A and B are shown apart, each in its own frame.
Chain A
Amino acid sequence: MKDDSELQPIQQFISALVPFDSLSDSSLVRCCQQLTIGYYSKTSKVVPLDESHPQLYIVRSGAFEVRDEQGELLDRLGEGDYFGFPSLLSGEKVSNQVQILEDSLVYHLDPDTFNYLRNESRVFDRFFNRAFAKRMRHQARFKAKDLTTTNRVNSLMSVDPLTIDCHASVSDAAKKMRLARVSSVLVIDNHKLIGILTDRDLRNRVLAEGFDGNLAVHQAMTTNPKRLSANALVFEAMLLMSEHGIHHLPIMAETPIDDNTEAPAVGMLTSTDILRGQSSQPLLLIGEIERQQDIDSLINVSKQIPVLLQNLISADARAEEVGRVLTSVTDALTRRLIILNQQILGAAPMAFCWLAFGSQGRQDQAACSDQDNGLLLAHEPDEHAKGYFNALSHAVCEGLDKCGYIYCPGDIMAQNPKWRLSLDKWQRHFESWLNAPEPKALMHASIFFDMRAVYGPQNLFEQLQNHVLERTKDNDIFLAGMAGNSLVESPPLGFFRKFVLERDGSEVKGMDLKHKGVALINDIARVYALSAGITEVNTPKRIRALMDANIINRKDALNLADAHEFIAHMRLANQGEQYTSQQDVTNYLKPQQMSSLIRHQLRDAFKVVHDAQSGLRMKFMRSY
């Protein structure tokens, strides 16, 4: 007798689900045969979870909501989602409530079969343990490949750099260098890096000047050399070298938050090291930008920027690094435009900084960025200076527009006299935001708090930034206003339910990964950073600094950084696909483009954002 009881539709459905897709055929058949089907009518409101009979609930159709004991929404579930696994794994009593939103068909998997499958497949076991731990670890599977161009400095540098005391003689230094067969030595005074001595210094400052080998090292060295941290990108190092015409960069351990103790030097990077690591496209592009002698050819070169973005996306670079690479190109372009225009207009009548705000400030530019910039002047300009900076800023903004960085719709640009201010006026402008934190005024002001100097003396910029951070730090009323603004939007957890209901996919606009995703995390990081006076503006760096300063606990910080990277990565990947299929590049991810796994991971990421928003509310808005 033939018992032909293979239930095709059930197997088809189950075998397409992560992590059931990892099971062997025989395990899958066994699993499907052990299922019990149940129907939950929305009139009965709540799923009766029986503690003595834990089950894995697999949603076949319909929709549910998981709430905790306080009634707080934890999750919305639809077709292909699971619930009930926490008590299956932990054996603990059920504390969450599962509400029935739509009439639903559910497959129940018994504990014995569930455990059998966990033993059979590590992927299966890991999936539920991971979901249980609520720790989003998309990295393992979605670990972005490292590009040559997104390599870190520490992958190319030589470690344990040669050092010498500043009072030693140059002849001792030369012997040490010969022994180690290197072309430079770091000069140390009292454990502090104070200079660098190179082959060239020995030639130009010792021999050519007629000194002998007894000259003290500190008299021949280059003082206060340019330096980089070990996790800087290789091309940032190359940029620094080409800008300053140097060939040696001391590499420091990651800078500690505390400014009083300097991080020790951990390595040395030379231009030869970089050559060995091969030149690559972003570097070539930046090099090309720096070589251009007129604005038209600069515009021509900038046409390569979209191609560069596509290359980075197709190489699956980390979103954080794509943002930094693209922003570096924008920075180089801006600087080149300033320099070329100064060749036309003459030298500036006073020191000034070109400020970048918003995404350029945060170093997370992507496709179709607009301009957000301003000009910081060392002091109040006279009529002549006003005329000069008016001409310069108009020329640079126009150049950027022609290079593909369209004019800011909100007119936050250096060519607008409103955003071309002296240090004193900028400081007072920020004070007006700080002292009267009307939510609406602040909403528009938030991008100014993500500022960075792209051109000009760093100490001028720091005078502004420090002035602002001193006043935002522990400023409860202001921070409550900022926190309030960043809670206006919430992550689209409800989308996952809608997605289920509109399963035909008709007329679904998609999920806004920018405004309901990365932007929310940017907002959260900004409020915390301002509250602690942290100078970083890049969101992942802000989160790291907040974690190091124990302002956000390690677990939450890592979760938030992961969620930021994941959502940003999805956004870039989606834009890459839109670009290749010649659609408009948008921030919207269509549900058809989501695999079951990506849906799970995106939802996990959005849950992290939701939790972080709750944390923000708790910390900054308690008394308001």
Chain B
Amino acid sequence: MNELWLKARLYYEIFGQSDLLSEYQQAYLSVINKPITSAPLMAIDLEMTGLDPQQDQIISIGIVPIEPSLMPLSIPLAKAQQIMINIDGSVGQSAAVHGIVDHHLSSALTLSQAMEWFVEKTKGHILVAHHAPMDIGFLQSHLYKTNGRAIKLPFIDTLALEKQRLLRQHDVLKEGSLRLDACRQRYGLPTYSGHDALTDALACAELFVAQVNSIGDINTLSAAEFISI
């Protein structure tokens, strides 16, 4: 059911368009109906100057693929990458959180270079993020700035998956229980000290793999069952 709805939304978006972004969206059509064990996925994490997609800017993007190689849902670190983006003004307040200071950004890409890089690297991959609507919102807003068009992006939200799971178990959701580290601990995953985009994307990728495994026989699950749009 979800699968048909997703496809309809994507068709609607692409209809009559013929640019880079519609090719990008087109690529999703062939992956969303795949089993989760063979669908190409890309865990992402963004570091931003603030929380408002309209006002604030993306500082860095980390991407970590999840794909079938050695085993279903492998994470090949050779393909994990991170870029920095040149922003207008200073990184300001969020520097304290991310440990990023302005000089880190000197070797950074321009916004349009970064978006081009992102579209190329993640094409045909379903995006996975923790608290994904925030990251997706920023991507959409930045794609609008560079390409003049906002597009729908299918994504998987590890936070939402965890929330569902806890509620199914009739757990009371305590404050902080859905934070990335707290979620990872429930699956026996190690705590990472770093909080750059790459480390958090990796942390998210591992969490997702653990979540899928905890559901049961992973071979019967379709990617579409996890996707929101």
Query: Contact: B210 with A39, CB < 8 Å?
Result: yes
The residue on A at minimum CB distance from B117 is A1
Query: Contact: A1 with B198, CB < 8 Å?
Result: no
Query: Contact: A38 with B81, CB < 8 Å?
Result: no
Query: Contact: A103 with B75, CB < 8 Å?
Result: no
Q: Does A33 reach chain B (CB closer than 8 Å)?
A: yes
Query: Contact: A38 with B71, CB < 8 Å?
Result: yes
CB within 8 Å for A103 and B187 given contacts A7-B199, A9-B194, A39-B213:
yes
Q: Does B122 reach chain A (CB closer than 8 Å)?
A: no
Residues 48-73 of chain B, each 1 if its beta carbon lies under 8 Å from chain A, else 0: 00000000000000000000011101
Point out the residues of chain B lying under 8 angstroms from A50, CB to CB: 70
Point out the residues of chain A lying under 8 angstroms from B83, CB to CB: 1-4
Residues 148-166 of chain B, each 1 if its beta carbon lies under 8 Å from chain A, else 0: 0000000000000000000
Interface residues of B in 114-128 (CB under 8 A from A): 117
Pick the residue among B77, B78, B190, B198 that contacts A4 (CB under 8 A).
B198
Residues 393-408 of chain A, each 1 if its beta carbon lies under 8 Å from chain B, else 0: 0000000000000000
Point out the residues of chain A lying under 8 angstroms from B108, CB to CB: 2
Please give the distance in Å from A354's CB to the nearest CB on chain B: 58
Query: Contact: B73 with A105, CB < 8 Å?
Result: no
Pick the residue among A5, A43, A48 that contacts B71 (CB under 8 A).
A48
Q: Does B169 reach chain A (CB closer than 8 Å)?
A: no
Given contacts A1-B109, A3-B83, A10-B202, 17 further A-B contacts (CB under 8 A): A1-B117, A8-B199, A9-B192, A9-B193, A9-B199, A32-B77, A35-B77, A36-B69, A36-B70, A37-B205, A37-B206, A41-B214, A48-B71, A55-B70, A62-B188, A103-B213, A103-B214
Point out the residues of chain B lying under 8 angstroms from A48, CB to CB: 71
Query: Would you give 28 A-B contacts (Cβ < 8 Å), ordered by A?
Result: A1-B83, A3-B81, A3-B82, A3-B83, A5-B80, A5-B82, A7-B77, A8-B196, A9-B190, A9-B199, A32-B77, A34-B78, A35-B77, A36-B74, A37-B77, A37-B202, A37-B205, A37-B206, A37-B209, A38-B70, A41-B213, A41-B214, A102-B188, A103-B187, A103-B210, A103-B214, A105-B210, A108-B74
Interface residues of A in 1-23 (CB under 8 A from B): 1-10, 12-13
Q: Does A603 reach chain B (CB closer than 8 Å)?
A: no
List B residues at the A interface (Cβ < 8 Å). Answer: 69-71, 73-78, 80-84, 107-109, 113, 117, 187-190, 192-194, 196, 198-199, 202, 205-206, 209-210, 213-214, 216
Query: Contact: A38 with B75, CB < 8 Å?
Result: yes
The residue on A at minimum CB distance from B193 is A9
Q: Does A61 reach chain B (CB closer than 8 Å)?
A: yes
Q: Does A53 reach chain B (CB closer than 8 Å)?
A: yes
Query: Contact: A39 with B77, CB < 8 Å?
Result: no
Point out the residues of chain B lying under 8 angstroms from A571, CB to CB: none
Query: Contact: A61 with B74, CB < 8 Å?
Result: no
* Cα–Cα distance between A9 and B209 once the two chains are bound (Å): 18
Point out the residues of chain B lying under 8 angstroms from A62, CB to CB: 188
Q: Does A420 reach chain B (CB closer than 8 Å)?
A: no
Point out the residues of chain B lying under 8 angstroms from A33, CB to CB: 77-78
Q: Does A607 reach chain B (CB closer than 8 Å)?
A: no
Residues 496-510 of chain A, each 1 if its beta carbon lies under 8 Å from chain B, else 0: 000000000000000
Please give the distance in Å from A438's CB to the nearest CB on chain B: 47
Interface residues of A in 25-77 (CB under 8 A from B): 32-39, 41, 43-44, 48, 50, 53, 55, 60-62
Top 4 closest pairs, chain A to chain B, by CB: A41-B213, A37-B75, A2-B107, A9-B192
Point out the residues of chain B lying under 8 angstroms from A44, CB to CB: 213
Query: Contact: A7 with B198, CB < 8 Å?
Result: yes
Point out the residues of chain B lying under 8 angstroms from A32, CB to CB: 77
Interface residues of A in 484-540 (CB under 8 A from B): none
Point out the residues of chain A lying under 8 angstroms from B82, CB to CB: 3-5
Query: Contact: A105 with B77, CB < 8 Å?
Result: no
* Cα–Cα distance between A65 and B88 once the two chains are bound (Å): 54
The residue on B at minimum CB distance from A9 is B192
Point out the residues of chain A lying under 8 angstroms from B113, CB to CB: 1
Query: Contact: A103 with B188, CB < 8 Å?
Result: yes
Please give the distance in Å from B126's CB to the nearest CB on chain A: 18
Query: Contact: A53 with B188, CB < 8 Å?
Result: no
Please give the distance in Å from A378's CB to the nearest CB on chain B: 68
Please give the distance in Å from A352's CB to the nearest CB on chain B: 64
Query: Contact: A5 with B81, CB < 8 Å?
Result: yes
Query: Contact: A43 with B69, CB < 8 Å?
Result: no
Point out the residues of chain A lying under 8 angstroms from B77, CB to CB: 7, 10, 32-37
The residue on B at minimum CB distance from A501 is B188
* Cα–Cα distance between A5 and B199 once the two chains are bound (Å): 9
Query: Contact: A8 with B75, CB < 8 Å?
Result: no
* Cα–Cα distance between A48 and B78 once the two chains are bound (Å): 23
Query: Contact: B80 with A7, CB < 8 Å?
Result: yes
CB within 8 Å for A61 and B75 given contacts A5-B82, A7-B199, A103-B210:
no
Please give the distance in Å from B221's CB to the nearest CB on chain A: 13
Point out the residues of chain B lying under 8 angstroms from A5, CB to CB: 80-82, 198
CB within 8 Å for A61 and B190 given contacts A36-B69, A55-B70:
yes
* Cα–Cα distance between A555 and B216 once the two chains are bound (Å): 47
CB within 8 Å for A4 and B206 given contacts A37-B74, A103-B188, A108-B70:
no
Please give the distance in Å from B41's CB to the nearest CB on chain A: 13
The residue on B at minimum CB distance from A63 is B188
Point out the residues of chain B lying under 8 angstroms from A53, CB to CB: 70
Give the residue among A32, A39, A62 with the most B Cβ atoms within 10 A.
A39
Please give the distance in Å from A78's CB to the nearest CB on chain B: 11
Please give the distance in Å from B180's CB to the nearest CB on chain A: 13
Point out the residues of chain B lying under 8 angstroms from A8, CB to CB: 192-194, 196, 199
* Cα–Cα distance between A483 and B142 once the two chains are bound (Å): 76
Interface residues of A in 215-244 (CB under 8 A from B): none
The residue on A at minimum CB distance from B104 is A4
* Cα–Cα distance between A102 and B71 once the two chains are bound (Å): 18
* Cα–Cα distance between A44 and B72 once the two chains are bound (Å): 13
Please give the distance in Å from A45's CB to the nearest CB on chain B: 12
